[in-house]
Amino acid sequence: MENLENALAAWRDILGEAHVLTDETTLTSAQTATFATTQTVPAIILPGNRAEIQACVRIANKYKTPIFPISTGKNWGYGSRVPVQNSCVIMELGRLNRIVDYNEKLAYVTVEPGVTQRQLFEYLRENQSNLFMSVTGSHPDTSLIGNILERGVGSGPHGDRFSHVCGFEIVLPTGECIQTGFERFANAKAAKVSRWGVGPYFDGLFTQSNLGIVTQVTIWLIPLPKYFQAFFFMINDDIHLKEAIDTLQTLRLEGLINFVGLWNDYKMLSTKQQYPWTETGGKTPLPLDLMESLRKKRGWGRWIGGGALYSSSKQQGKAERKLIEQALNNKVDKFGFMDQTKVWVARFIQHPYRWITGINLSEVLNWWYNEKDIFLGVPTDKNISSTYWRKKTPIPSNMSPDRDGCGVIWCSPVLPFDGQHVITAVKIIEGVAHSYQFEPNIAILCVNERSIDIVSTVMYDREVPGEDERAMACHDSMLQKLTEAGYIPYRLDIQSMNSLPPAKDDYGKLLSEVKKTLDPNNILAPGRYDFRKDWPNLSE
In this structure, the number of other CB atoms found within 10 A of the CB of residue 147 comes to 23
pLDDT of residue 342: 67
Whether 279 and 130 map to the same domain: the answer is no
Whether 392 and 440 map to the same domain: the answer is yes
pLDDT tens figures, 386-442: 999 999 999 999 999 999 999 999 999 999 999 999 999 999 999 999 999 999 999
Domain final residue pick, 203, 223, 243? 223
pLDDT of residue 371: 64
Rounded to 10°, the helix 50-62/2-15 angle is 160
Reply yes or no on whether the pLDDT at 215 is more than 50.
yes
Whether 146 and 204 map to the same domain: the answer is yes
pLDDT of residue 401: 98
Reply yes or no on whether the pLDDT at 347 is more than 80.
no
pLDDT tens figures, 45-88: 999 999 999 999 999 999 999 999 999 999 999 999 999 999 99
CATH, residue 260: 3.40.462.10
Please, which residues have CB within 8 angstroms of residue 301's CB and are 6 or more apart in sequence?
A: 234, 235, 236, 265, 295, 333, 334
pLDDT tens figures, 435-463: 999 999 999 999 999 999 999 999 999 99
pLDDT tens figures, 351-393: 665 655 556 666 666 665 556 788 999 999 888 999 999 999 9
Whether 488 and 387 map to the same domain: the answer is yes
Query: How many structural domains comprise the chain?
Result: 4
Domain final residue pick, 223, 241, 272? 223
* Range in 38-52, 83-97, 331-345 the model is least confident about: 331-345
pLDDT of residue 372: 74
Whether 217 and 237 map to the same domain: the answer is no
* Range in 89-93, 106-110, 166-170, 344-348 the model is least confident about: 344-348
Q: What is the full DSSP assignment across 214-278?
A: EEEEEEE-EEPPSEEEEEEEEE-SHHHHHHHHHHHHHHHHTTS---EEEEEHHHHHHHH----HH
pLDDT of residue 336: 85
**Residue with the larger pLDDT of the pair 532 and 86:** 86
| Cα–Cα distances in angstroms (integers) from residue 10 to residues 85, 213, 255, 507, 519, in the given order | 23, 20, 55, 37, 20
Whether 273 and 340 map to the same domain: the answer is yes
pLDDT tens figures, 125-163: 999 999 999 999 899 999 999 999 999 999 999 999 999
Q: Please, are residues 150 and 491 in contact by the beta-carbon 8 Å criterion?
A: yes
Whether 269 and 165 map to the same domain: the answer is no
What CA–CA distance (Å, rounded) separates 220 from 405? 36
What CA–CA distance (Å, rounded) separates 380 from 5? 41
pLDDT of residue 540: 43
Whether 403 and 446 map to the same domain: the answer is yes
pLDDT grade, residue 1 (50/70/90)?
A: confident
Whether 130 and 254 map to the same domain: the answer is no
pLDDT tens figures, 461-506: 999 999 999 999 999 999 999 999 999 999 999 999 999 998 888 8
Strand segments (E) across 243-400: 260-264, 303-311, 334-338
pLDDT of residue 502: 85
Q: What angle do CA 146, 49, 220 make, to 5 degrees?
A: 45
Q: What angle do CA 420, 426, 427 make, to 5 degrees?
A: 90
| Cα–Cα distances in angstroms (integers) from residue 310 to residues 120, 322, 341, 437, in the given order | 21, 14, 16, 41
Whether 75 and 105 map to the same domain: the answer is no
CATH, residue 54: 3.30.43.10
pLDDT of residue 360: 65
Average of pLDDT values for 535-540? 50
Domain that holds residue 218: 99-223
DSSP β-bridge partners for residue 227: 311
Average of pLDDT values for 318-340? 92
Average of pLDDT values for 311-318? 96
pLDDT tens figures, 223-232: 999 999 999 9
HEC string of 31-98 equals CCCCCCCCCCCCCEECCCCHHHHHHHHHHHHHCCCCEEEECCCCCCCCCCCCCCCCCCEEEECCCCCC
Reply yes or no on whether the pLDDT at 536 is more than 60.
no
pLDDT grade, residue 538 (50/70/90)?
A: very low
